[in-house]
A and B are shown apart, each in its own frame.
Chain A
Amino acid sequence: MKKRIQWRFILIGATLMLAAVFFLPNTPFFKEMPDWWTKNMPDKGITLGLDLQGGIHLVFEVEGEKAVEITTERMAQSLKDILSKKKLNTEITSKGLLITVAPSSMEIRKAIEDNYPVLTPVETGTNIVYKISDKEAKRIKDNAADQALETIRNRIDQFGVAEPTIHRQGTNEIVVQLPGIKDPKRAIEIIGKTAQLEFKLVDDVSPVAAEIPATAAPGEEDAVLKKFAEKIPSDDEILFEKKVNRETGVVRKIPILVKKQAALTGDLLKEAKVNIDSSRSGFPYVSISFNDAGAKLFDEVTAANVKKRLAIVLDNTIYSAPEIKERIGGGNAQISGSFSMEEAKDLAIVLKAGALPAPVKMLQNITVGPSLGTDSIEAGKMAGIIGTLLVVIFMIVYYRLSGVIADFALVLNIILLLGAMASLNATLTMPGIAGIILAIGMAVDSNVLMFERIRDELRAGKTPRAAVDSGYKKAFWTIFDSHVTTLITAAVLFQFGTGPIKGFAVTLSLGVAINLFTALVGTKTVFDLILSRRDVGKLSI
């Protein structure tokens, strides 16, 4: 009997130590620790959420005008298809917000306006110029901002910043607040990437292709583009592949002539993840897989273009342009380029979260204080301490020595909970604190349940030891059931909830699990110790 108590004490002591090690980074003592400690031991601790500590405040502007341009271009492309299917011969070009149809006829006009009633003619004659109606343009812009919001939220979720605040501001701005993160630059880059992924066939047959220089120094891109602007076929364009020399870090740009129209776009992606190329000394690459429609299209494109090169283009930069060696079925492909592990990871994140419907521009990047307000937090701390003290005192008054044991369990609970949160690098926010309050409430409740049971047993005339044992036994299933039901709710909230709700779920589920331990092992050990020391005639409860 005694031996078992000893082991339980060791177990409690060990968990306490572990919790302390994890929580240490949150205390001022962490700075005093020797070097070997800070290097090898956990150094992250609990992050405080935006509402408690503030963070960075970023404002992005969604360039809605660009979204309208992109839509215009897409409409022009599909109009080409529609008209050529109807065997209506005409040239369609799009530039900025305008689509020019030359020459036009009543029949062509009818076909266009039937298919796209949102196009309004701004110039009519033998040539006709269309523009998207103002109402539709406004809708597209509005939609772009909404979509951008969702995409950015997805990216940040995958990047792993817990508890961000993201909302729209004005008609075309998006505010992102991230709690104290260490690498804001990387976060900004991830948010800012348009991530428009396209697969474009390389045009090697055009005579112009041979004239294009093999490489261009950074800064010379415009000169190259200008030089060939007149020469290249109307459905081609020049894009640059960025190559970084891994040893010297020198950047080269390789101009490549590609088809303007993408053979395949990133919206057909299903998954993107980072892999390591073991054959090429461990360079990371991003492997992507398409959805069913994408896989089918990829299969067709590769089948029709064996021996040709296919450029993988992200935000108008070519990542690589490998030759299609054979038809590729199954819908898997890879993007290899000269990037670091971190870059590859970020690329996978933005690809998975999808493209922004329009580019975004960062307008503001400032550090902000807590959204709850410094004053509120101080008041909250004070209230929390007072509340806990009241409970502690009440338990001692009502249950005497046993109340002290319950208070011991309470303290144990709080320390373990903080340690567990620190080990997960969880973010603590106001909802999280609510979760802790509930968990502590349940901890006290567990003790009350057991103590009331023990009192019942004592009233029935049992000896203290028998009363404690059967009291624990009887209370066990009650405690178990009430904890499991709470755990179910917490788990579901964690799975489906976002942001603040998730924070609540994390602290609550940790709290509940820890409480099972402290209530069933922690206090029982103390009781056993007291009861085993001497022949106790009366129990202070």
Chain B
Amino acid sequence: MLELIKNTKIDFMGKKKIAFIFSGIISIIGIIAIIQIATGKANLGIDFAGGTAIQLKFEKPVVLHDVRKALEDGGLKDFDLQDLPTVNKILIRVKNTEQKLGQTSSEATGILSRKFSDNKYVVDSTTEIGPKVGGKLRADAAKAIGVAVLGILAYVAFRFKFNFGVGATIATFHDVLAVLSVFYLMGHEINLILVTALLTIAGYSLTDTVVVFDRIRENMKVRHKEPLESIMNASINEVLSRTIITSLTVLLTSVALFFFGGEVIHDFALAMIMGVVIGTYSSIFIASPTVLLWGRKKTFARRP
């Protein structure tokens, strides 16, 4: 039997103070990031901020990859590429910066003229574009998140206890906020792909937390004379090998995406890698301690 983790007896709950301080800080940064995003001050992608669309018609067919590389080497940042293959056209969407419409487009076309000197092109149109994700979509998303939180809270409270629901919700939010705060601090672009990654992370984190809770509930039934804190410690240690192995497999996929997935998926993979690490950490150091703080000792889980 190949084993990575053997019987451990780590005092996880004893480290809750350090964990809370650490998580408090990244959560606050995460909240600041959300405020900055809501007020449009963060580095928002074209999906959210809008930008400039430049349509070019080439004489000969062009390879999208070459254009992407040329623009990147030329120092253009935050752009999307789409080709209109039947007519040798490409559509470049560049995010709005402080630059004016004309500047952005001349910068892009300047780079391409230099790189594609043997394939002439004409600029079909240059227009200002609005965000793909408008106000209504954002409001819908906010509503969805609110209802989802209530749903999870209700289910976990029903299956376990109310304070377990609080613990699961807080841990999930914590993970999303943490990844968001890292992206914000690194100045990475906040776009739809990141939002997708955050949703995926929330799903992963929730699963992870519920698995730990389940073991706690099971142990509470057998060892109900012990203090909750030691039951929690024992439970986390018991599921530790599962936690590590699951995290490892998800990490494997994410790392593969990170290294081989190309530029567009790069940020998604990066978010996933961070999400897995943070999700694992939070299911151990945040979810259960929160339950402990919220409910004190009177908590006994309901039978399934």
* CB–CB B147/A394 < 8 A: no
Stretch at the interface among B16-24, B30-38, B129-137: B129-137
**Which residues of chain B come closer than 8 Å to A388, judged between CB atoms?**
253
* CB–CB A376/B214 < 8 A: no
Closest chain A residue, CB of each to CB of B82: A371
> With the chains together, A400 CA to B197 CA distance in Å?
32
* CB–CB B257/A369 < 8 A: no
- Name the interface residues of A418-438: CB closer than 8 Å to any CB of B: 430-431, 434-435, 437-438
- Name the interface residues of B139-158: CB closer than 8 Å to any CB of A: 140-141, 143-144, 147-148, 151-152, 155-156
* CB–CB A386/B256 < 8 A: yes
Taking the nearest CB of chain A, how far is it from the CB of B247, in angstroms? 9
* CB–CB B199/A434 < 8 A: yes
Taking the nearest CB of chain B, how far is it from the CB of A50, in angstroms? 9
**Which residues of chain B come closer than 8 Å to A306, judged between CB atoms?**
none
Stretch at the interface among B181-189, B260-268, B285-293: B260-268
Closest chain A residue, CB of each to CB of B202: A489
- CB of B84 within 8 Å of the partner chain: yes
* CB–CB A501/B129 < 8 A: no
**Which residues of chain B come closer than 8 Å to A386, judged between CB atoms?**
256, 260
Interface centre among A150, A386, A474, A485 (most CB of B within 10 A): A485
* CB–CB A374/B155 < 8 A: no
Taking the nearest CB of chain B, how far is it from the CB of A142, in angstroms? 11
**Which residues of chain B come closer than 8 Å to A478, judged between CB atoms?**
210-211, 214-215
Residues 373-416 of chain A: 1 if any B CB is under 8 Å from the residue's CB, otherwise 0? 11110111011101110110011011110000000000000000
**Which residues of chain A come closer than 8 Å to B196, judged between CB atoms?**
430-431, 434, 500, 504
- CB of A372 within 8 Å of the partner chain: yes
- CB of A305 within 8 Å of the partner chain: no
- CB of A477 within 8 Å of the partner chain: yes
> With the chains together, A452 CA to B244 CA distance in Å?
11
- CB of B245 within 8 Å of the partner chain: yes
Give the residue of B81, B136, B168, B252 whose beta carbon is less than 8 angstroms from that of A485: B168
* CB–CB A441/B1 < 8 A: no
Give the residue of B1, B84, B252 whose beta carbon is less than 8 angstroms from that of A367: B84
**Which residues of chain B come closer than 8 Å to A173, judged between CB atoms?**
127
> With the chains together, A173 CA to B131 CA distance in Å?
13
* CB–CB A169/B265 < 8 A: no
* CB–CB A165/B246 < 8 A: no
**Which residues of chain B come closer than 8 Å to A484, judged between CB atoms?**
155
Interface on chain A toward B: helix, strand, loop, or mixed SS? helix
* CB–CB B203/A379 < 8 A: no
How many residues from A make CB contacts under 8 Å with B? 83
- CB of A370 within 8 Å of the partner chain: yes
> With the chains together, A449 CA to B199 CA distance in Å?
23
Stretch at the interface among A189-197, A262-270, A285-293, A490-498: A490-498
A169-B130, A441-B253, A488-B151 known; A369+B85 contact, CB < 8 A:
yes
Taking the nearest CB of chain B, how far is it from the CB of A382, in angstroms? 5
Give the residue of B1, B159, B257, B260 whose beta carbon is less than 8 angstroms from that of A481: B159
* CB–CB B147/A492 < 8 A: yes
Taking the nearest CB of chain A, how far is it from the CB of B300, in angstroms? 17
- Name the interface residues of A167-192: CB closer than 8 Å to any CB of B: 167-171, 173, 175
Closest chain A residue, CB of each to CB of B156: A485
A367-B86, A375-B65 known; A169+B53 contact, CB < 8 A:
yes
- CB of B193 within 8 Å of the partner chain: yes
- Name the interface residues of B1-20: CB closer than 8 Å to any CB of A: 1-2, 4
- Name the interface residues of B167-194: CB closer than 8 Å to any CB of A: 168, 192-193
- Name the interface residues of A493-533: CB closer than 8 Å to any CB of B: 493, 495-501, 504, 508
* CB–CB A383/B85 < 8 A: no
- CB of A217 within 8 Å of the partner chain: no
* CB–CB A368/B199 < 8 A: no
Closest chain A residue, CB of each to CB of B139: A496
Interface centre among A169, A441, A491 (most CB of B within 10 A): A441
A and B contact pairs by CB, cutoff 8 A, 16 listed = A170-B127, A371-B80, A373-B68, A379-B260, A380-B264, A383-B256, A383-B262, A387-B257, A388-B253, A394-B249, A430-B196, A437-B200, A444-B249, A448-B242, A477-B214, A493-B144
List 10 tightest A-B contacts by C-beta distance, closest first. A379-B262, A168-B130, A387-B256, A496-B144, A387-B253, A383-B261, A375-B65, A383-B260, A369-B83, A376-B264
Q: Known pairs A386-B260, A452-B241. 15 more at Cβ < 8 A?
A: A167-B129, A170-B129, A373-B82, A374-B65, A383-B257, A398-B2, A430-B193, A430-B268, A437-B272, A441-B250, A444-B250, A452-B239, A485-B152, A489-B148, A491-B151
Q: Report A's interface with B, CB cutoff 8 A.
A: 54, 57, 149-150, 153, 165-171, 173, 175, 366-376, 378-380, 382-384, 386-388, 390-391, 394-395, 397-400, 430-431, 434-435, 437-438, 440-442, 444-445, 448-449, 452, 455-456, 474, 477-478, 481-486, 488-493, 495-501, 504, 508, 541
Q: Report B's interface with A, CB cutoff 8 A.
A: 1-2, 4, 50, 53, 63-65, 68, 80-87, 89, 91, 127-132, 134, 136-137, 140-141, 143-144, 147-148, 151-152, 155-156, 159, 168, 192-193, 195-197, 199-200, 202-204, 206-207, 210-211, 213-215, 218, 238-239, 241-242, 245-246, 248-250, 252-257, 259-265, 268-269, 272, 304
